[in-house]
Structure 1
Amino acid sequence: MKVIIGLGNPGKQFDGTRHNIGFDVIDALSDKWNIPLDQAKHKGLLGTGMVNGEKVLLLKPLTYMNLSGESISAVLNFYKLSHEDIVVIYDDLDLPPGKLRLRQKGSAGGHNGIKSTIAHLGTQEFNRIRVGVGRPTDKRSVPDFVLSRFTKDEQELMSKVVDICGKACENWLEADFLIVMNKFNG
């Protein structure tokens, strides 16, 4: 089984915000693969199904961003999975809007959802897709910026990026993550 995890914050007030790009990818995959997110357990919203012969679990942690690791570790423990069986998708301020960076390990880079994930998994070694959302160019604080919605121009770009993230996840079901990294980085 492979687990695809999108980080974000639950609640309508956070829909469409920069911080919820991970949730956006999971919602798109749910629609594309006809895997309803209909199970509320392990502190998250889950959906399970088969894609290209691989059992897939889609996860949106409902713990709020800063506690994402609680849900992720609960799912891995319940299904007796390894950190190698997951990919975590999340926003990254240090990348320009729309740029993707796939990695198999690394630090949290200041991202509280990833800090929580590392703390709960006990390792920095797990597959991740960082989605660039850029930094504020005005006087907004970082928290205000990541909780803001994309501009109209950015929405068009991010819609394409969500689709590309979905394609990367689908490739991962059939190929080693290193191959997927080489194909989709940038």
Structure 2
Amino acid sequence: MWLIVGLGNPGTKYALTRHNIGFMAVDDLLRSLEAPASRTDFKALVNKFKWDGEEIVTVQPQTYMNLSGDSVRPLMDFYKIPLEKLIVVHDEVDLPFGKMKLQKNRSPGGHNGIKDITAKMASQDYLRVRLGVGRPADPRFNVADYVLQKFSDEEMAAMPEFLNRATEALEALIFEGLAKASNRFN
């Protein structure tokens, strides 16, 4: 069984913001697989289904970004999912929009959602799909404010293709492993 976590902030105020691209990626995955509707459990939107024989649980924490581990850890324990089958999908300001990196055992950097999951799991040894949202053009612009902004019209036009690639990357991680998936998507 795999746990796929899409990070974001709950509520319509944050919909379609850079910080919510993890939510958007999970929504795209669920749509593409025609998965059943999510339920609210463990302070998160949770969905459980089979994907080509693999049991999958998707999670969209409803706790706000900096408390994401409050949903992830209890779900990992409840379903007895090993750390190597945890995949966290999140925004990454150190990658340009449209780029992604698949990695494991990486420092949280400045990402508060990743920091909280790492603290609650007492390990950073899990898979991450880092989806590029870029940095503000003006280096004086606060990055925390930038990630809470909505995507530009140009970015939204490219979003379906980007999210489709994220779904393909998740599929490759699960069915081919990190090495092969990284060669294709990094």
TM > 0.5 fold call: yes
For the superposition of Structure 1 and Structure 2, which TM-score range results when normalised by the shorter chain? over 0.9
Q: Render the CA deviation track for 1:115-167: whole Å, top value 9, x for unaligned.
A: 00100011111000101111111454212210111111111223221110101
Q: Render the CA deviation track for 1:63-107: whole Å, top value 9, x for unaligned.
A: 110011111111101011111111100001111111101101110
* Corresponding residue number in structure 2 for 1:147: 148
Gaps of 5+ in 2: none
Quick one: which amino acid aligns to residue 24 of structure 2?
D
Task: Give the TM-score of the pair, scaled to structure 1.
Answer: 0.95
Q: Tell me, in whole angstroms, the C-alpha distance in 1 between the residues paired with 2:147 and 2:120.
A: 23
Is structure 2 residue 182 aligned with structure 1 residue 175? Answer: no
Gaps of 5+ in 1: none
What is the total number of aligned residue pairs between the two structures? Answer: 185
* Per-residue deviation, 1:110: 0.6
Q: Tell me, in whole angstroms, the C-alpha distance in 2 between the residues paired with 1:18 and 1:41.
A: 25
What is the root-mean-square deviation in Å for CA atoms of aligned residues? 1.2
Q: Tell me, in whole angstroms, the C-alpha distance in 2 between the residues paired with 1:178 and 1:76.
A: 24
Quick one: which amino acid aligns to residue 150 of structure 2?
R
Q: Tell me, in whole angstroms, the C-alpha distance in 2 between the residues paired with 1:123 and 1:182.
A: 25
Show the 5 A alignment for 1:1-186: 1-138=1-138, 140-185=141-186
* Per-residue deviation, 1:34: 1.6
Q: Tell me, in whole angstroms, the C-alpha distance in 2 between the residues paired with 1:26 and 1:70.
A: 18
Percent of counterpart pairs with the same letter? Answer: 39
Task: Give the TM-score of the pair, scaled to structure 2.
Answer: 0.95
Quick one: which amino acid aligns to residue 164 of structure 2?
D
Q: Tell me, in whole angstroms, the C-alpha distance in 1 between the residues paired with 2:40 and 2:10.
A: 12
